Amino acid sequence: MSVAPGMEIETWFRLVDGGVRSEVHDASDMAPQVRDPEPGASGGRGLILVAALADRWGYGARCGPGKVVWAELTPGR
C-alpha cells in the first residue's frame, strides 16, 4: 500500500474481554505524544482524554505504512 502520510485513516472497533478496543490506523510514522497544551490552545488534548478514560492504550506499527493507536475500555473499571 502506498499512500501519502496522513492521507489514509481507518478506525476499527472490536470486542475484547468484556470491553471494547478502539483502533485508529493512519499513514504517519510519527509516534503519538501526550502533550501539555497551553490553556488557550485549540488542540493537543486527544491523548490526555484517551489516557484518562481508557483502561490501557498504546501504539505500534501496522501492516503497510504508518501506525495504529489503540485504547481498551472495560465497563465497570
Domain locations in the chain as residue ranges: 10-73
Q: Are strands 56-61 and 19-26 parallel, antiparallel or unpaired?
A: unpaired
Nearest Cα residue to 68 out of 59, 76, 77: 59
4: pLDDT strictly greater than 80: no
Nearest 5°: phi and psi at 22?
Answer: -110, 135
Q: What is the pLDDT of residue 13?
A: 95
Average of per-residue pLDDT across 11-25: 93
The residue to which cell 501504539 is assigned: 59
Reported as a single tens digit per residue, the pLDDT across 19-72 is 999 999 988 888 999 989 999 999 889 999 999 999 999 999 988 788 999 999
